[in-house]
Structure 1
Amino acid sequence: MTSNVNYGLWYDFRNPAPWQENFESFYASRLGQIADAEALGFNSVWLTEHHFCEDGYTPSPLVIAAAIAARTRAMHIGTNLMLLPLHDPVRMAEDAATVSLLSGGRFDLGVGIGYRQLEFDQFGRQLSHRPSLVEEGIEILRRSWSGEPVNFSGKRFTVGDLRVLPAPVHTPKILLGGMAPPAIERAARVADGFLSTGGLGLDNYCEALVSQGKSLDDGNVILGCWAIIAEDPEAEAARIADHILYQTNAYIQWGAFGPPEQATLYDDVFSAIENGLYELWDADMAVTKLKTLVADYPMIRDIHFWAQFPGEPLESGNRRLQYIAEKVLPRLR
Structure 2
Amino acid sequence: MTSPTTKGSIDVGLYFDLRNPPHREGSAARLHGFTLEMCEEADRLGAGSLWFSEHHLFDDGYLTQPLTFAAAAAARTRRARLGTAILVAPLHSPVEVAEQAALVDLISDGRLDLGIGTGYRKPEYELYGVSDRQRYGRTDDMVRRLRQLWSEGGVTPGPVQDPIPVWLGYHGPQGARRAGLLGAPLLTPNHESWPAYRDGLVAGGFDPAIARMGGGVQAWVTEDPERDWPLVAPYIAYQVDSYRRHMVEGTDAPPPKPVDPAKLATRDPRGPLSYFWFGTPEEIAGRIRDLVKDAPTSTVYLWGSVGGMPEPMVAEHVRTVCTRLAPLLR
Q: TM-score, normalised by structure 1?
A: 0.86
Partner of 1:219: 211
Give the counterpart of 1:95 among 97, 100, 103.
100
Residues 211/279 of structure 1: CA separation in 2 closer, same or farther (3 Å cut): farther
- 1:122 maps to 2:157: no
Q: Hey, what does 1:65 align to over in structure 2?
A: 70
Q: Structure 2: 5+ residue runs without aligned partners?
A: 1-5, 268-273
Residue 308 (structure 2) aligns with:
311
Matches within 5 A, 1:83-232: 83-148=88-153, 163-170=154-161, 171-190=163-182, 192-196=184-188, 201-212=193-204, 214-232=206-224
Distance verdict in 2 for CA 1:260–1:301, change over 3 Å:
farther
1:240 aligns with 2:236: no
1:13 and 2:5 are equivalent in the alignment:
no
- Give 1:45 deviation, angstroms: 0.3
Given that 2:71 and 2:104 are in contact with CA atoms closer than 8 Å, whether structure 1 keeps it comes out as yes
Percentage of identical aligned residues: 29
Q: 1:43 aligns with which of 43, 48, 52?
A: 48
Distance 1:267 1:227 in 2: 16
Report if the CA contact (8 A) 2:52-2:84 is conserved: yes
Deviation of 1:143 after TM superposition, in Å, equals 1.0
Task: Name the structure 1 match of 2:271.
Answer: none
Deviation for aligned residue 1:137? 1.8
Match of 1:277 in 2: 275
**Greater relative contact order, per chain length (Cα 8 Å cut-off, separation 6+):** 2
CA apart distance, 1:319: 1.6
8 Å CA contact retained: 1:46, 1:77: yes
Question: Which moves more between the two structures, 170-179 or 262-271?
Answer: 262-271
Deviation at 1:198, TM superposition (A): 6.5
| 2:294 aligned to which of 293, 296, 310 | 296
Letter in 2 for 1:314: E
Deviations 1:105-130 (A, max 9, x none): 00011000010000111212111120
Deviates more, 1:55-64 or 1:198-207: 198-207
Distance in 1 (CA, whole Å) between partners of 2:314 and 2:287 is: 21
Partner of 1:29: 34
Q: What do the CA deviations read for 1:127-171 (whole angstroms, capped 9, x no partner)? A: 1120232122222211111134xxxxxxxxxxxxxx311111212
What is the CA–CA distance in structure 1 between the aligned matches of 2:252 and 2:169, rounded to whole Å?
Answer: 20
> How many angstroms apart in 2 are the aligned matches of 1:177 and 1:236?
31
1:263-292 deviations in Å (ceiling 9; x for gaps): 632253213434522122312223333445
Mapped contact 1:176–1:191 kept (Cα < 8 A): no
Give unmatched runs, 5+ long, in structure 1.
149-162
> What SS does structure 2 have at the residue aligned with 1:195?
coil
Q: Work out the CA distance in 1 between the residues paired with 2:227 and 2:180.
A: 39
CA RMSD of aligned residues (A): 2.4
1:300 partner letter? T
Shift of 1:6: 1.9
Q: Is 2:261–2:276's contact at 8 Å kept on the other side of the alignment?
A: no
**CA separation in 2, counterparts of 1:30 and 1:143?**
34
What SS is found at the alignment partner of 1:280?
strand
1:43-71 CA distances to partner (integer Å, 9 max, x unpaired)? 21011101112211111111110111110
Q: Letter of the aligned partner of 2:156 in structure 1? A: L
Q: Shift of the alpha carbon at 1:203?
A: 4.3
SS in 2 for 1:50: coil
Give the structure 2 partner of residue 286 of structure 1: 284
SS class of match (2:168): strand
1:169 partner letter:
V
1:18 is displaced (CA, Å) by 2.1
CA displacement 1:51-93 (0-9 Å, x = unmatched): 1122111111111101111101111001111000000111111
Contact 1:199–1:223, Cα closer than 8 Å, also in 2:
no
Quote the Cα distance in structure 1 between the aligned partners of 2:122 and 2:219.
29
Aligned residue number for residue 155 of structure 1: none
Instruction: Work out the number of aligned pairs and report it.
Output: 316
| C-alpha distance in structure 1 between counterparts of 2:180 and 2:294, whole Å | 18
